[in-house]
Amino acid sequence: MVAVSVQQVTKSFGATKVLRGVDVHVPAGGFAVLVGPSGCGKSTLLRLLAGLEEVTSGSIRFGEREVTRLEPRERDIAMVFQSYALYPHLTVRDNLAFGLRLRKTDPAEIGRRVDEAAAMLGLSHLLDRLPKALSGGQRQRVAMGRAIVRRPALFLFDEPLSNLDAALRAQVRVDIRKLHDQLGATSVYVTHDQVEAMTLADVMFVLNGGVVEQQGAPLEVYDAPATRFVAGFLGSPAMNFIKATIEDAGGGGLRARLGDGSANLALPPGLPARPGQAVEVGVRPHDLELCDESAAEIHLKVDFVELLGPEIHAHCVLAGAPVIACLETRTGVSVGDTLPLRVRRLHLFDQESGRALR
């Protein structure tokens, strides 16, 4: 178990700057998730942690230890690859034992640890098979097992679930978190899937274009996105954004004139916005709530309805911008209805900088 501290790390491949000064701090035993759209540099950062790539500048420390220039094998880490990267010529047992054998661990100890890991992951009956005779889920578990038996101070996961089907993914997600809690080692987990990020993370780092846009506990980040990008990236369905201009509502209050100007929204007091400022109003689909006509802040006409079972997604247009509202199924909304809605919570972003105004 070791704390991870990445300081002002940059990484370029030739002229391409992939990471532009990243700081990441993970407490010992924590589960950190690096999340971001594909191509944002998550894998690169993880590979820097593993020692598979060398930093262009900046430093990496594991606990008190400076590891920036160390070889992977000197870092006491284990990594689970997206493709699993199992040794195709070795049986499951030998795959698991490979790292231990290289370290000249006592054979009896190797046997014990392999059996233990296999039991933990339900691989016991597969130990004598070659990887090519395994299903995708089994391979994934072998890759996990290979990391576990090593008992490293730090686990690195690079999108380990992306090659699994949806049902399996949900299950393994839970398994991974349980394993982490059981083993207690620090974990750094890379994914582009915000659901995984939200459910797994103790601390979450949202990467975009080679920088950390925001970090923090998942719910904090979800509730208070620091930028328009983070707000849009987290949450499903994604947050609704409507371009707006700030206007003086009189009486010291401000309001946002939405989109084409056909609707207004009163802003809560205390927001650092000034009249005339170009902003984007962000409203999560779940923050739109049906209400009485009298209490309605906006009215939306339903174009299309997705039935998901417990809830429905009503696709509407607000002041020329598409908007989705997540409503309880029992409300019985159907296409053509005009909905009186209340905005439970809204976010405001400066159009120019994309920063949240709060």
Partner 1 sequence: MIRRRTAARLALAGLALAPLLLGAGEARADEGDEAATIQLWHAYRGAEEEALQAILEAHRAAGGPPVETLAIPYDAFGSKLGAAIPLGEGPDLYIDSHERLGDYRVRGIVAPVGDAFEGEAAFRSNAVQAVTLDDAIWGLPLSQKCVALYVNQGLLKEVPATLEGFAGLRDTLPEGVFPLAYEAQGAYVHSALLGAFGGSLLGPDDSFGFVGDPAVRSLNLARALIDGGVVPSDADGALVTNLFRGGKAATAISGPWLAADLEGSGIDYRVELLPKVEAADGAPMRPLLTVEAVMLSPEGAKRADVRALARRIAGPEAAALRQERARTLTARADVPLPPGDKLLAAFAAQAEVATPMPSAPAMRATWEPANRAIKAFLRGELDAEAATEGARKRFDDVRRPLPPPASPTPLLIVVGLLLLYGAFSLVRQVRSGELVPALRRSIPAYRYVAHAVITVGLLVILPLVVGAATSLWAGRPETGHYVGLANFVDILTARGGPLLATGSFYVVLLVTLLWTLANVFFHLAIGVSLGLVLSRPTMKLRGLYRVLLIIPWAVPNYVTALAWKGMFHRQFGAVTGLINALNQTFGLSIEPIAWFSHFSTAFTANLATNVWLGFPFMMVVTLGALTSVPGDVLEAAEVDGATRWQRMWQVTLPIIRPTLLPAVTLGAIWTFNMFNVVFLVSGGEPDGTTDILVSEAYRWAFTREAQYGYAAAYAVLIFLMLASVTRLGEWKAGRRAAREAAAARAAQAVEGGGH
Ligand X SMILES: Nc1ncnc2c1ncn2[C@@H]1O[C@H](COP(=O)(O)OP(=O)(O)O)[C@@H](O)[C@H]1O
Work out how close the CB of 42 gets to ligand X at its nearest, in angstroms, rounded to a whole number.
Answer: 4
Residue 103 near residue 76, CB atoms below 8 Å:
no
Instruction: Give Cβ neighbours of residue 204 (< 8 Å, ≥ 6 apart).
Output: 32, 33, 35, 197, 198, 215, 216, 217, 218, 221
CB under 5 to 8 A by kind: which of partner 1, ligand X, Mg ion, none does 135 bind?
Answer: partner 1
Binding to partner 1 by residue 312, rule CB under 8 A?
no
Report which of 43, 351, 354, 7 is spatially closest to residue 190, judged by C-alpha positions. Answer: 43
Nearest to 203 by CA among 50, 27, 5, 7: 27
Q: Which two tokens stand for residue 288?
A: 């739109």
Nearer to partner 1, 89 or 344 (CB): 89
Regarding 355 and contact with partner 1 (CB under 8 A), the answer is no
CB atoms near residue 184 (< 10 Å): 10
Check residue 170 for interaction with partner 1 (CB under 8 A). no
Q: Which is nearer to partner 1, 23 or 53 (CB)?
A: 53
Minimal distance in Å, beta carbon 322 to partner 1?
A: 40
CA 181 to chain centre: 19
Orientation angle between helical segments 107-121 and 136-149, nearest 10 degrees = 140
CA–CA dist 20, 276 (Å, integer):
34
Q: In this structure, are residues 46 and 56 in contact, taking their beta carbons and an 8 Å threshold?
A: no
Binding string, residues 111-150; x marks residues near partner 1 by CB under 8 A: --------------xx-xxx--x-x-xx-------x---x
Residues touching partner 1, count (CB under 8 A): 33
Nearest by Cα to 282 from 196, 205, 356, 347: 347
276 binds, among partner 1, Mg ion, ligand X, none (CB under 5 to 8 A by kind): none
Report d(CA 194, CA 173) in Å as an integer. 12
Least separation in angstroms between residue 55's CB and ligand X is 13
Whose tokens are 């420390």? That residue is: 61
Contact set with ligand X (CB under 6 A): 13, 16, 18, 36, 38-44
195 versus 357: smaller Cβ distance to ligand X: 195
Residues 88-107, mask of contacts with partner 1 (x by CB under 8 A): xxx-------xx--xx----
Rounded Cα distance between 164 and 160, Å, is: 9
Site residues, Mg ion (CB under 5 A): 43
Dihedral angle of Cα 144, 145, 148, 152, to the nearest 10 degrees: -70
Binding mask 31-70 for partner 1 (x = CB under 8 A): -------------------xxx------------------
Give which of Mg ion, ligand X, partner 1, none residue 130 binds (C-beta under 5 to 8 Å, depending on kind).
partner 1
Q: Which is nearer to partner 1, 5 or 82 (CB)?
A: 82
Using CB under 8 A, list all residues that contact partner 1: 50-52, 71-73, 77-79, 81, 83, 85-90, 98-99, 102-103, 125-126, 128-130, 133, 135, 137-138, 146, 150, 168
